[in-house]
């Protein structure tokens, strides 16, 4: 059974940093692209970032480019999202998602974690 478990969310002040983790199990982690998707009541679902199987290809939505970094450790079956210079508009539930296969383009979100809430507020 595919399982994705996020951790690391919480309350953080604007301008500070937070690192999310996603522990994966139930599949061969290194064979699949991974992603982060966030959700707010006002903006709905937003793709945030994606990473290829080996980590060599990464993509970010424009609003987080230069502030967020997606990475993965295939030996630990874990992906990460380093979030720096956080803003109030980054407040959301962040979901870890496994892509359908190993391609990092023209893909979709086959499995989702339960989400972790990030609140950016002073």
Report the candidate in 115, 106, 97, 114 with the shortest Cα–Cα distance to residue 34. Answer: 97
Beta-bridge partners for 55: none
Q: Which two tokens stand for residue 36?
A: 């982060």
Between 29 and 113, whose beta carbon lies closer to another protein? 113
Residue 41, CA distances (Å) to 10, 38, 44 in order: 18, 10, 6
Interaction between residue 25 and another protein (CB under 8 A): no
Min CB(1)–another protein separation in Å: 11
Interaction between residue 71 and another protein (CB under 8 A): no
Interaction between residue 56 and another protein (CB under 8 A): no
Between 3 and 17, whose beta carbon lies closer to another protein? 3
Between 46 and 84, whose beta carbon lies closer to another protein? 46
**Pairing mode of beta strands 10-12, 116-120:** parallel
Task: Indicate which single residue of 28, 114, 117, 121 sits in contact with another protein (rule: CB under 8 A).
Answer: 114
Q: Which stretch binds another protein (CB under 8 A): 9-17, 18-26, 78-86, 111-119?
A: 111-119
| Cα–Cα dist 102/114, whole Å | 22
Neighbours of 30 (CB within 10 A): 14
Positions that interact with another protein (CB under 8 A): 44-47, 50, 59-62, 95, 100, 104-115
């Amino acid at each position: 059974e595919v399982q994705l478990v996020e951790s690391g969310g919480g309350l953080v002040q604007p301008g500070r940093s937070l690192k999310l983790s996603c522990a994966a199990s139930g599949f061969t982690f290194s064979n699949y692209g991974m992603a982060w998707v966030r959700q707010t009541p006002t903006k709905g679902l937003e793709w945030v970032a994606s990473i290829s199987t080996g980590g060599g290809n990464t993509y970010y939505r424009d609003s987080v480019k230069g502030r967020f970094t997606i990475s993965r450790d295939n030996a630990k079956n874990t992906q990460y999202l380093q979030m720096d210079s956080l803003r109030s508009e980054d407040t959301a539930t962040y979901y870890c998602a496994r892509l359908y296969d190993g391609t990092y383009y023209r893909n979709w979100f086959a499995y989702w974690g339960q989400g972790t809430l990030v609140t950016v507020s002073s």
